[in-house]
Structure 1
Amino acid sequence: MAEAQNIEYKQSWHDDYLKWVCGFANAIGGKIYIGKDDDGTIVGVDNVKNLMESIPQKIQNHLGIVCDINTISEGNKTCIEIIVHPYAVPVSLRGRYYYRTGSTKIELTGNNLNDFLLRKAGKTWDDVIEEAATIDDIEDLSIKRFISDAETSGRMPASHDLSNQELLEKLRLYQDGKVKRGALILFGKDPNKFYPNVAVQIGKFGNDDADLQFQEQIEGNITWLLVEVPRMLNNKFLTKKISFEGLQRIEKGEYPVAAIREMLLNAMVHRTYMGAKIQIRVYDNKISIWNEGTLPEGLDEESLKKHHVSKPRNPLIADVCFKAGYIDSWGRGTLKIINSCKEAELPEPEIKEFNGGVLVTLYKDTLSEEQLKKLGLSERQIKAVLYVKENGKITNKEYLELNDVSRITATRDLQDLVEKSVLKSSSIKGAGSYYEI
């Protein structure tokens, strides 16, 4: 039994585990077992009576919270169960804040700490008033673009008669005569005047990160980036141009429009806006997009592959994107990415936490070496598939010569590739038979 997102197994108690208690209290709660091995098997713990007295005292003295402490016995072995409840207020340990994300504990610092403290206070980053900004920092063209899209979507009709200030008030982006951060990110003339890295950086690479061929950077508010980033991808980075008008259109042999559009929107809605810029990397065989900001509470990488609750980091920004018809408010963005790739007969996209953010990767080639390894193919089989991709077909004799194996081994390997739907055998039998993709 492996550790879950909100469970930790420890064989003995150390005061350093107060950090784990703190992390659980600041997230969705959890359980810590003292006296269990990594598989969840009770191995027992010494001084149970003393620990049952000292652990609650240390938690209360250092963290200011109360946890449920129980003993669990199995035969002659006893472990201690610490049940940590989630707290609505921030919990610190010696002035430091810890947080449980996925299966790891992190110390919150800088922008992550600011976002966390805002959230615990019932606010989000995009809901904060920007004291240095005025209504004059809002761009008319961006407002008009939104109104047109919102009326087309039917989610906010009859908005064209509103002034910029009235519209922002209706979108909860203007308060007490002042502009909120979300308004500048969505409609600002120059968001980078107030916040660093409100931009998308696009790089063209060969097969790996060491082979950077050229790059572009696009700055501006969200309504501008949604127009300009797809245009730049089409004009300079993608080998086969695709129409970004019909969002559900599937382009055979290239990346699905819906997937790329959704990847960009997800990155904009969920990113940490005081952090690094969004990065799009276009390789010969894949495209990836990364935004800073960890997954929301209670969600992990597997959760994104099925129906899940929408938990946007920037809810005001997300609400405007919803009203404009850019996104759904049902947490279906990642499902759209996955399903559109499936419809286009592309490999399942990869979505994972990476370097303090979320990385989404689409793969163009179902039979790349990277994808073949995921299928569990042997090195011999991978070499053979790459040979077929280059030469069109392979015979049993060519396989055994390519890999220096017996005819029996070659036949078995090739049959396995057929069973895995990687290759198919020709209709010709006997001496002229061969295998192809």
Structure 2
Amino acid sequence: MTIQKLEELISRSEYEKLDFKLDFNIDKESSKREFVKDVTAIANSKGGRGYIIFGVEDKKKEIVGVTAKKIEEERIQQLICGRCDPPVPIRMEEIIYKNKKLFVLTIFKSNQRPHQILQTGTFYVRRGSTTDIARRYEVASMLQENGILSYETTILPNAYFKDLDFELLKKYFSSSFSDDYKKTILLLEATGILGRDTERSEYHPTAGGMLLFGKNPQNFLPSTGINIDYCKKRIHIEGNIPSMLDKAEEILHSYIKNENYPLNIVLEALYNAVVHRDYWDNTREITVRIEPKMIEIENPGAVWRNEGIINIDSEINPPRRNSWLYQRLLIFDKKQRFTPGTLGLKCVQDTLETKGHEVKFVNLTKKNIFKVVLPGTEEI
């Protein structure tokens, strides 16, 4: 690490990917536990590389230096490998700065998140400048992000075939659908609508199957509905995804009566929210807020790693969060709302720019929220 890079880091406040420590000591058991906990928390937090700088007082940024005589990187590597799974990729450096010796631990961006503490089975993340236990949806999101787990193909053990809309299934599968129960089960398993509980040899709807074809999905998947806020009133929509979008479209058409307003961009932002939302996060739902000066579409699930307003022209497109769901919607949605090339967020932006207006894409990683902020009904 260069002195210039070190000074840049020291000038910052602590956050998810940066921590300052007065000294470095891993002689005691308690200090070993804390060290590994901090390393895994930074590795599990969203963003690129992380750093722990030893020998710096955080508040005043006083350079105090470390008391340890030398870096024992092999010992540090062994400590991390023996206490967390999978091991976190790191590099430890000694840097002389202002006549003081500092240790800088670089925690490389990990493609194997989440990293778990072996002794306790706990997963940690950073929240601002503090280390905290990861919530269930955060662990699940990390597993899905790295291809270890898929939300959509997770079976719902309390749901059964009768909880799916048989007529809707018949309509969408048309000629492939059979009145033979065994053939139907095999077809739905092959397409991921049902999954098999191998221990009990039972078939249950998957989360994706329930979202697409469930009679009452929210009985099994809470916080998967859509809210529309208008004139201090909230309409809450429940049902499977196609039926919810049908209802939402009808309501939005009745609320947005300005003929000059391009309603299709609001709908596209809503379709995007349905496909990209973090379904593991059951603390909030998709919400459309309609105001004279602003229309906002908010969904759980930060998309990019950067915090704040995102420039989608310069950002690298993130991997699609719910690829299984998106692929099925391409096939099953008769209204072709998810056909590639129809609009997309880039086209939403371009459409508004041609009219002299702007759209804001807001990524809130700490709250796990993504927002599309459009001009209000009186602005166009």
TM-score normalized by the length of structure 1: 0.62
Letter in 1 for 2:161: I
Distance 1:232-1:300 versus aligned 2 partners, 3 A rule? same
Letter in 1 for 2:234: Q
Aligned twin of 1:184:
210
1:68 to 2:78 alignment: no
Letter in 2 for 1:91: H
Distance 1:285-1:128 versus aligned 2 partners, 3 A rule? same
Aligned twin of 2:164:
138
Percent identity of paired positions between Structure 1 and Structure 2? 20
Q: Distance in 1 between matches of 2:230 and 2:154?
A: 36
Selected match of 2:320 from 294, 312, 325: 312
Q: Distance in 2 between matches of 1:118 and 1:58?
A: 27
Any idea what the Cα deviations from partners look like across 1:323-351, whole Å, max 9, x if unmatched? 44433679x84323322322332223242
Q: Distance in 1 between matches of 2:358 and 2:230?
A: 21
RMSD, aligned CA: 4.0
Distance 1:335-1:49 versus aligned 2 partners, 3 A rule? farther
Aligned twin of 2:349:
338
* Contact 2:19/2:129 (<8 A) preserved: no
1:195 to 2:221 alignment: yes
Aligned twin of 1:228:
247
Selected match of 2:270 from 264, 267, 270: 264
Letter in 1 for 2:258: K
Selected match of 2:195 from 175, 178, 183: 175
More helix as a share of residues: 1
Letter in 1 for 2:322: N
Provide the aligned length of Structure 1 versus Structure 2. 332
* Contact 2:312/2:346 (<8 A) preserved: yes
Q: Distance in 1 between matches of 2:131 and 2:275?
A: 24
Give the alignment of 1:6-21 within 5 angstroms.
7-8=17-18, 10=20, 12-13=22-23, 18-21=36-39
Any idea what the Cα deviations from partners look like across 1:60-108, whole Å, max 9, x if unmatched? 6654646321123456344322122426364235554223689996641
Letter in 2 for 1:136: K
Q: Distance in 2 between matches of 1:329 and 1:69?
A: 46
Q: Distance in 1 between matches of 2:377 and 2:57?
A: 42
* Contact 1:346/1:366 (<8 A) preserved: no
* Contact 1:258/1:340 (<8 A) preserved: no
* Contact 2:294/2:373 (<8 A) preserved: yes
Letter in 1 for 2:375: Y
Any idea what the Cα deviations from partners look like across 1:250-295, whole Å, max 9, x if unmatched? xx4x2x3342122212222233433322222111211112222333
1:216 to 2:240 alignment: no
Deviation at 1:363, TM superposition (A): 2.0
Any idea what the Cα deviations from partners look like across 1:354-408, whole Å, max 9, x if unmatched? 744222221238989xxxxxxxxxxxxxxxxxxxxxxxxxxxxxxxxxxxxxxxx
Secondary structure in 1 aligned to 2:373? strand
Distance 1:134-1:107 versus aligned 2 partners, 3 A rule? same
Aligned twin of 2:4:
none
Q: Distance in 2 between matches of 1:7 and 1:117?
A: 20
Aligned twin of 2:374:
362
Selected match of 1:163 from 165, 177, 200: 177
Deviation at 1:111, TM superposition (A): 3.1
Distance 1:141-1:72 versus aligned 2 partners, 3 A rule? farther
Aligned twin of 2:284:
276
Deviation at 1:52, TM superposition (A): 5.2
Q: Distance in 2 between matches of 1:180 and 1:43?
A: 55
* Contact 1:310/1:329 (<8 A) preserved: no
Deviation at 1:183, TM superposition (A): 0.6
* Contact 2:22/2:57 (<8 A) preserved: no
Aligned twin of 2:5:
none
Aligned twin of 2:256:
238
Aligned twin of 1:405:
none
1:88 to 2:112 alignment: yes
Secondary structure in 2 aligned to 1:161? helix
Secondary structure in 2 aligned to 1:279? strand
Selected match of 1:349 from 360, 364, 372: 360
Q: Distance in 1 between matches of 2:265 and 2:131?
A: 31
Q: Distance in 2 between matches of 1:69 and 1:169?
A: 49
Distance 1:101-1:51 versus aligned 2 partners, 3 A rule? same
Any idea what the Cα deviations from partners look like across 1:32-61, whole Å, max 9, x if unmatched? 1415799xx995623252675786676566
* Contact 1:266/1:333 (<8 A) preserved: yes
Secondary structure in 1 aligned to 2:363? strand
Letter in 2 for 1:364: G
Aligned twin of 2:27:
none
Aligned twin of 2:44:
26
Distance 1:112-1:124 versus aligned 2 partners, 3 A rule? same
Selected match of 1:47 from 67, 71, 76: 67
Q: Distance in 1 between matches of 2:62 and 2:322?
A: 43
Q: Distance in 1 between matches of 2:145 and 2:107?
A: 20
Distance 1:219-1:31 versus aligned 2 partners, 3 A rule? closer
Q: Give the structure with higher Rg (CA).
A: 1
Q: Which stretch of structure 1 is more off in the superposition, 121-130 or 70-79?
A: 70-79
Deviation at 1:196, TM superposition (A): 1.6
Q: Distance in 2 between matches of 1:105 and 1:240?
A: 48
Secondary structure in 2 aligned to 1:220? coil
